[in-house]
């Protein structure tokens, strides 16, 4: 029973990711795409958690934590790029 | 190491000391120190005459690379001895002549004598070696030293051109000859000429026989300036005259003749050998004498004359080979006698003629027959020598050229006994060529020494040459007369040489000045009458040389060939090596695809089986679909940022697939690396244009075809590899031993740091190098690359 539910949930998330990829490709603006990528990350976290249940393991928990951080860093980097055109500022003293 | 070896190596040893002598003893002409060597060698080789007359062959072996069958074996038989005597004898005379010809003050004598000694030693090595590889080594050394000697005045454009040309052509032939030698080795298993001759009967049916024959002949023809490879010889006339006299008339150009004569016992069983030699020899004979008439430079006349005479000797050797194929060998053996006899005669009169031309050049400052004339009274001795030499060359009695020319006609008339339909053409061409020979001989002597004296055209005031310069040509001219009157005195040298060429026949050579009233004499008289008439009417028919189109000249062809080879390879390089990575990758991928797909289907190696496949979940399909869609969309992305986003998506999806396929460590690493890479790409964007470059459509289509091909080949190879598993994987060992052997439960990490830790170490090294490289790239550039260079 739970197996079936998990499988259906994975499929739903996968389909949602497919839709997000469509948004990444289509745009129309860059922030649209970045938000879509961020959402892809969230979906990935969900799928990984579901897979953990499905195969009955805790091996992927670290992945979930790490992805939570990286997806955030990635989105911030993109946002900063959008804002200033650079990601890492030079020292102001120079 | 015997005395014979020492005799061959002696010139090389002396050559080492020449610069020392030149530097330290300035007061005496260096040539005087060289002169004793060839004289001593000549005397030494003369001591073999009695042995070879008794058919004794002296063989001495010195181990060189015995394991490969290459030994420095020296063999003195009739033919080798004849050449050795020519080389050392004429060598002595040429060195004596050069002492007076080359000025002590103006010329760099050290290099001249080093080159000349190199050549002399190499030539002795060629004619006395019994081992084919050693022969080849010396053969190339003659080409090389000839190259150095032709380019002796290397600051002249023409010298360099002539040297390069002769080098290219003779080395081409030399390499072909090496090919022939290797083929002979394949057939017989030995490099020794003696043993190859012993096996001659068995190798004639070998499939490689004809190839070896053609290769050897190509080597002989290029060296001996046979048509169409004769073009290097006239350009080699840029060398100092002693060199022309020595190399390009008496010795080196006869190396090809020597090779043909030496190899005759091996190849003459085949009619192809005979046919090719007769055909090329006769045509060279005709073409050389025909071309000589139109030359205006004395040395050019002599060069074409040499070509023509070499063709004559070559064709005689060919006719001589016919003895093996027809019933009555005595008709043809006379041709071999004539060949060897003329070889000696040609060396004597051509050597003296070159020296005469050198004297004329030296004393008047020009070699142009249009400027020369009327030197007879000013240079009586030179004129006498010239008369003797040219009359001998034209085949007039009582000189030695007459005897060999008569024998030549005999040989050519006897060639009619060959039963093929066109054999009548052989004596006709021979006769026509002799007429031309007569004409240019007369031009040579009479345009130079008689007629009007034109002092205003000459650079110097001509007078008789110093006596030292005249000694050598006088000796040669006396030989011409002595052999002419008493031809039988050279029999001890001549007969053993002929018997080496044609070991299967007995020769009873008897040469006499008057051998009755016969066809040959009629032909000679005909040559003289027609020749005189044509010479007197020279200006009326000279126009025929204008008919021959300059475009078809072989030199044009040669220059054009070199030029087009240069241009061709240049444009090929420019078209292929474009400097565009796109092109290079296209070539690589294209060939990879063609080779691997081709061999997969060519070898029928493609396999596809559905055993061992895991079940596919629906969500796996969707995830893979996302990767596929993103990848395709990536190809059509218009801006860089979109392509980066899509790359990131693909990277994340791949890490998700790692999760699905249960590889948590991989997934973690992939995730981090993907994020860093995306950030790095973004970092670079500041410096890059926003838009991606637009390739033209045809390039896109080409790239698309190639990339589809690459994808297809990877899929095919993957499927085939998966479908043909030959044995189980070794992973069971790791599963069993990870904890018991390495005290770890994470199998991937245990493999990385324990079972296969070496790989990890070097991966770390790679990362370290990359970090250092990035650091230095950025840092050095920040500091200014130019500044560092200036320090």
pLDDT along chain B (791 residues), means of 10: 86 90 85 89 89 84 86 88 91 90 83 91 91 92 92 90 92 93 89 86 84 90 89 88 86 90 86 88 90 86 90 89 77 84 89 89 83 81 88 85 85 78 82 90 85 74 78 88 84 83 72 68 86 83 71 79 92 87 89 88 82 81 88 83 85 88 89 87 73 68 89 89 82 89 88 91 95 88 53 40
Domain range summary for chain A, segments of one domain joined by +:
2-84
Q: Cβ B664–A40 below 8 Å, yes or no?
A: no
How close does chain A come to B715, measured CA to CA in Å?
A: 24
Q: Cβ B619–A10 below 8 Å, yes or no?
A: yes
Please give the pLDDT value at position B412: 85
What is the spatial distance between Cα B159 and Cα B148, in angstroms, rounded to a whole number?
10
Largest CA distance in chain B: 115
How close does chain B come to A91, measured CA to CA in Å?
A: 15
| The pair of three-digit structure tokens given for residue B456, joined into one six-digit string | 């205003």
Closest CA to B215 of B192, B184, B190, B193: B184
Q: Cβ B679–A74 below 8 Å, yes or no?
A: yes
Please give the pLDDT value at position B769: 96
Residue B681 CB-density burial (10 A; 0-12 exposed, 13-18 middle, 19+ buried): middle
Residue B55 backbone zone (phi > 0: left; psi -120 to 50: alpha; other: beta): left
What are the residues of chain B with a beta carbon less than 8 Å away from any beta carbon of chain A?
A: 617-619, 622-623, 625-626, 629-630, 633, 641-642, 645-646, 648-649, 652, 655-656, 659-660, 662, 664, 667-668, 671-672, 675, 678-679, 682-683, 685-686
Q: What would the DSSP string read from start to end of B552-613? A: G-HHHHHHHHHHHHHHHHHHHHHHH--S-HHHHHHHHHHHHHHHHHHHHHHTT------TTP
Residue B5's contacts (CB-CB under 8 Å, 6 or more residues apart) are: B60, B62, B72, B74
Find how far residue A29's CA is from the centre of its chain: 19
Query: A-chain residues within 8 Å CB-CB of B679?
Result: 74, 77, 87
Stretch A46-68: mean pLDDT? 86
- Cα B758–B762–B763 angle (5° rounding)? 110
Residue B92 CB-density burial (10 A; 0-12 exposed, 13-18 middle, 19+ buried): buried
Closest CA to B337 of B347, B345, B348: B345
Mutate to test the interface with B, among A5, A7, A21, A28 (most CBs of B within 10 A): A21
Q: Cβ A47–B641 below 8 Å, yes or no?
A: no
Does residue A91 carry a pLDDT above 70? no
Query: How many beta-carbon pairs under 8 angstroms link A with B?
Result: 99
DSSP tally for chain A: helices H, then strands E: 3, 0
Query: B-chain residues within 8 Å CB-CB of A10?
Result: 619
Residue B160 CB-density burial (10 A; 0-12 exposed, 13-18 middle, 19+ buried): middle
For chain B, the distance separating the N- and C-terminal CA atoms, rounded to the nearest angstrom, is: 59
What is the spatial distance between Cα B22 and Cα B111, in angstroms, rounded to a whole number?
10
B109-128 vs B36-46: helix axis angle to the nearest 10? 10
Q: Does the CB of A5 have a partner CB in chain B at under 8 Å?
A: no
Mutate to test the interface with B, among A6, A7, A14, A86 (most CBs of B within 10 A): A14
Please give the pLDDT value at position A86: 64
Residue with token string 């244009």: B689
Query: A-chain residues within 8 Å CB-CB of B672?
Result: 66, 70
Please give the pLDDT value at position B105: 80
B277 and B122 Cβ atoms separated by less than 8 Å: no
A42 and A71 Cβ atoms separated by less than 8 Å: yes
**pLDDT, tens digit (0-9, with 9 covering 90-100), for A13-25:** 988 988 988 888 8
Question: CB neighbours (10 Å) of residue B787?
Answer: 9
Closest CA to B166 of B184, B183, B145, B180: B145
For chain A, the distance separating the N- and C-terminal CA atoms, rounded to the nearest angstrom, is: 64
- B152 DSSP assignment: S
Q: pLDDT tier at A94 (50, 70, 90 boundaries)?
A: very low
| The pair of three-digit structure tokens given for residue A30, joined into one six-digit string | 């860059």
B561 phi and psi angles, rounded to 5 deg: -65, -45
Query: B-chain residues within 8 Å CB-CB of A51?
Result: 659-660
Instruction: Go through chain B and tell me how many residues it has.
Output: 791
What is the spatial distance between Cα B319 and Cα B277, in angstroms, rounded to a whole number?
8
Alpha helices per DSSP H over B365-490: 380-394, 400-414, 425-449, 467-485
B63 three-state secondary structure: strand
How close does chain A come to B767, measured CA to CA in Å?
A: 22
Cis amide linkage into residue B562, ω under 30° from 0 = no
């Amino acid at each position: 029973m739970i197996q079936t539910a998990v499988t259906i949930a994975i499929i739903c998330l996968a389909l949602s990711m497919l839709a997000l990829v469509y948004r990444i490709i289509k745009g129309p603006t860059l922030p649209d795409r970045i938000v879509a990528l961020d959402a892809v990350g969230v979906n990935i976290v969900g799928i990984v958690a579901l897979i953990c249940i499905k195969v009955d393991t805790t091996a992927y928990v670290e992945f979930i934590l790490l992805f939570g951080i990286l997806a955030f860093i990635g989105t911030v980097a993109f946002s900063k790029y959008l804002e200033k055109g650079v990601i890492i500022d030079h020292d102001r003293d120079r | 190491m015997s005395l014979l070896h020492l005799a061959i190596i002696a010139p090389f040893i002396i050559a080492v000391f020449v610069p020392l002598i030149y530097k330290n003893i300035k007061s005496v002409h260096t040539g005087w120190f060289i002169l004793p060597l060839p004289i001593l060698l000549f005397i030494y080789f003369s001591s073999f005459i009695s042995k070879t007359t008794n058919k004794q062959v002296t063989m001495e072996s010195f181990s060189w690379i015995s394991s490969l069958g290459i030994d420095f074996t020296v063999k003195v038989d009739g033919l080798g001895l004849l050449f050795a005597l020519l080389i050392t004898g004429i060598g002595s005379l040429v060195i004596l002549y050069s002492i007076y010809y080359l000025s002590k003050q103006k010329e760099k004598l050290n290099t001249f004598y080093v080159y000349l000694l190199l050549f002399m030693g190499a030539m002795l090595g060629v004619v006395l070696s019994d081992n084919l590889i050693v022969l080849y080594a010396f053969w190339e050394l003659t080409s090389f030293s000839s190259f150095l000697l032709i380019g002796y005045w290397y600051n002249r454009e023409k010298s360099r051109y002539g040297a390069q040309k002769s080098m290219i052509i003779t080395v081409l032939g030399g390499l072909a000859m090496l090919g022939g030698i290797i083929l002979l080795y394949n057939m017989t298993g030995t490099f020794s000429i003696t043993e190859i001759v012993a096996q001659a009967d068995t190798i004639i049916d070998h499939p490689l026989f004809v190839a070896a024959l053609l290769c050897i002949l190509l080597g002989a023809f290029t060296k001996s300036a046979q048509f169409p490879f004769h073009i290097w010889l006239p350009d080699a006339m840029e060398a100092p005259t002693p060199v022309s006299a020595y190399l390009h008339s008496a010795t080196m150009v006869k190396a090809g003749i020597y090779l043909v004569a030496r190899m005759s016992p091996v190849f003459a069983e085949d009619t192809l050998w005979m046919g090719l030699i007769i055909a090329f020899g006769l045509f060279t004979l005709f073409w050389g004498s025909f071309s000589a008439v139109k030359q205006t430079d004395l040395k050019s006349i002599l060069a074409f004359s040499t070509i023509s005479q070499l063709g004559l000797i070559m064709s005689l050797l060919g006719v001589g080979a016919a003895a093996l194929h027809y019933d009555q060998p005595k008709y043809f053996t006379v041709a071999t006698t004539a060949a060897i006899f003329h070889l000696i005669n040609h060396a004597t009169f051509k050597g003296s003629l070159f020296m005469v031309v050198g004297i004329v050049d030296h004393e008047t400052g020009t070699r142009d027959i249009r400027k020369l004339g009327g030197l007879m009274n000013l240079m009586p001795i030179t004129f006498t020598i010239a008369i003797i030499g040219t009359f001998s060359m034209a085949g007039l009695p009582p000189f030695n050229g007459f005897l060999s020319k008569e024998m030549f006609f005999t040989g050519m008339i006897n060639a009619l006994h060959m039963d093929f339909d066109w054999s009548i053409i052989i004596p006709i061409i021979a006769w026509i060529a002799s007429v031309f020979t007569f004409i240019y001989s007369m031009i040579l002597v009479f345009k130079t020494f008689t007629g009007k004296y034109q002092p205003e055209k000459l650079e110097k005031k001509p007078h008789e040459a110093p006596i030292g310069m005249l000694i050598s040509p006088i000796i040669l001219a006396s030989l011409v007369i002595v052999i002419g009157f008493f031809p039988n005195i050279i029999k001890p040298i001549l007969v053993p040489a002929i018997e080496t060429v044609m070991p299967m026949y007995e020769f009873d050579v008897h040469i006499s000045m008057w051998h009755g009233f016969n066809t040959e004499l009629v032909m000679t008289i005909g040559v003289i009458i027609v020749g005189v008439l044509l010479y007197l009417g020279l200006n009326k028919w000279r126009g025929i040389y204008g008919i021959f189109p300059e475009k078809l000249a072989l030199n044009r062809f040669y220059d054009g060939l070199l030029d087009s080879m240069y241009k061709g390879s240049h444009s090929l390089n420019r078209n292929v090596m474009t400097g565009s990575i796109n092109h290079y990758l296209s070539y690589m991928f294209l060939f990879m695809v063609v080779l691997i797909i081709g061999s997969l289907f060519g070898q029928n190696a493609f396999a596809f089986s559905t055993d061992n496949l895991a079940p596919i979940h629906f969500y796996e399909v969707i995830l893979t679909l996302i990767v596929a869609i993103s990848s395709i969309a990536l190809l059509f992305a218009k801006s860089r940022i979109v392509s980066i986003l899509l790359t990131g998506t693909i990277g994340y999806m791949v890490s998700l697939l790692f999760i699905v396929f249960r590889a948590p460590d991989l997934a973690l690493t992939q995730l981090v690396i993907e994020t860093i890479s995306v950030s790095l790409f973004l970092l670079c964007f500041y410096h890059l244009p926003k838009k991606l470059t637009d390739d033209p459509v045809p390039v896109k289509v080409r790239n698309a075809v190639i990339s589809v091909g690459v994808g297809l080949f990877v899929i095919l190879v993957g499927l085939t590899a998966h479908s043909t598993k030959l044995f189980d994987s070794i992973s069971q060992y790791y599963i069993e031993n990870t904890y018991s052997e390495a005290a770890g439960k994470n199998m991937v990490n245990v493999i990385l740091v324990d079972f296969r830790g070496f790989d990890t170490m070097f991966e770390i090294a790679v990362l370290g190098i990359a970090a250092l490289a990035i650091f230095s790239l950025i840092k050095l550039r920040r500091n200014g690359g130019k500044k560092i260079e200036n320090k």
